[in-house]
Amino acid sequence: RKEVEQDPGPFNVPEGATVAFNCTYSNSASQSFFWYRQDCRKEPKLLMSVYSSGNEDGRFTAQLNRASQYISLLIRDSKLSDSATYLCVVGPYQLIWGAGTKLIIKP
């Protein structure tokens, strides 16, 4: 079993729709959680940290469910520019990376 698992997709979503995807992690001692975004084989960039109480940044909402060991990312009112691969990352000491979920927003 992989330490961090994500559905690879692709998720094909019409512009303006809401999309959500999850990421599961195996180490119950994990303490830090992040979502990164990666565009077409460029370097990953931090999208947002995930806090225990859940957090929101504009159209993006991240949530953590420790009991079931998963984190989620919700994107509302999706834009064409949201098309990317979204990487789930679990820490804190050694960052463990999921393989990513590919999202394609269609006009």
Tell me which residues touch other proteins (CB under 8 A). Answer: 8, 32, 34, 36, 41-46, 49, 87, 89, 91-92, 94-95, 97-100
Q: How far is the CB of 20 from other proteins (least distance, A)?
A: 20
| Residue 9 C-beta-side C-alpha neighbours within 13 Å | 22
What letters, b where the CB count within 10 A reaches 16 and e where it falls short, cover 32-65? ebbbbbbeeeeebeebbebeeeeeeeeebbbbbe
Q: How far is the CB of 39 from other proteins (least distance, A)?
A: 11
SS3 content of the chain, % helix, strand, coil (to 5): 5, 55, 45
Q: Which C-beta is closer to other proteins: that of 69 or that of 76?
A: 69
CA 2-3-8 angle, to 5 degrees, is 60
Q: Which C-beta is closer to other proteins: that of 49 or that of 72?
A: 49
Q: Which C-beta is closer to other proteins: that of 78 or that of 90?
A: 90
Q: Which C-beta is closer to other proteins: that of 81 or that of 94?
A: 94
Q: How far is the CB of 3 from other proteins (least distance, A)?
A: 10
